[in-house]
Structure 1
Amino acid sequence: MQVTNVLTRNLERSIAAKQEMLKDHVQNEIFSTAVNQVIKRYKNGGRLYIAGNGGSAADAQHLAAEFVSKLACDRAPLPAEALTVDSSILTAIGNDYGYEQIFSRQLLGKATKNDIFLGITTSGNSENILNALNACKSCNIPSLLFTGHDGGKAKELADYCIIAPGVTTAAIQELHIVLAHSLCECVEIELFKE
């Protein structure tokens, strides 16, 4: 194995996925509309809930940290919560109701009318994300989805579905981070512009 060949291949895949996203005006418009919905929710005292599995769970925690701490400017904290971090809640729900309910049950117990949910799933088929998106409908809160491939079953359930192009899970996840940082930066600019 030549390390430089692997690195070159992965950089080329990452660049190609980002270039494809850059040219996708439909996805960019959906993203813009979703950003405005998050801003509206924050202006009305809402909170952003975020969930994912595996690497997407780490992305959920990463994004929640950016909102609560800061990304690009010194500002007041914004309420955001990754639904992936409380091991007692996760294991209780997983044990009593099944792993596929770990996010939906939290949303049903926590979400209020001004909140919004972001699900992150590269496949678009994670059962616990599908159930969380359905819970959003029950809670009457909007849902945003970062996904990949063809969007899976989740694309039909989310109010705002952003499908990151990419032939590998890694390239899709990299785009999810770009989307997450862009979301946070846009919210900061709108809510804290000087």
Structure 2
Amino acid sequence: MDIVLKNRLYAAPYFDLNDPMEGRYLYPPGSSGLDEDIQRIIKGEKEKIKVCSLSKDPENELMWSHYSEGHRGVAIGVKIDSLKYKVRPIEYDGLHKLGMHNMHSDAAIDILSHKLDVWGYEKEVRVFSKGNKTTIDVEVKEVIFGRSTSNQDKGFIKDLVSKVNPNIEFRNAFS
């Protein structure tokens, strides 16, 4: 209900995300690597970033199984202001290859925009924010019910959400 009441989503530090390879990167072949000062700067920049992970696919069976109590929960469809936040789709091409040729102010975001292909089913889009704020402002557009959400829960959620914002739409996943 916090999402609907306050129009916000949680944004986590990268090291709290569930992929153990999160935030890692590769040096180019034949390179002696990046010096310790550059590595320290990159680490510091990554630590300033908060990440909100979303999926482009509200019909993904695995995502419903992993993240919504076995299809009994809901997914929340939101709109993000891309002028306020950096929004990037994840590239499932392995770890980011970082070298002096692609060092720039958003190098940490580039690193956090690449994942191993095993995660590709997520169809993830990330919203990046810098600073101490741990939330991302959103506009809630819809509530999507899982295929096993009980009618009682659907009714309760519809009543509650409609009282907060009658413009939010409701639908069933996989219909």
Same fold per superposition (TM over 0.5): no
- The TM-score normalised by the length of structure 1 is 0.24
Point out the structure with max Rg over C-alpha: 2
Structure with a larger share of its residues in strand: 2
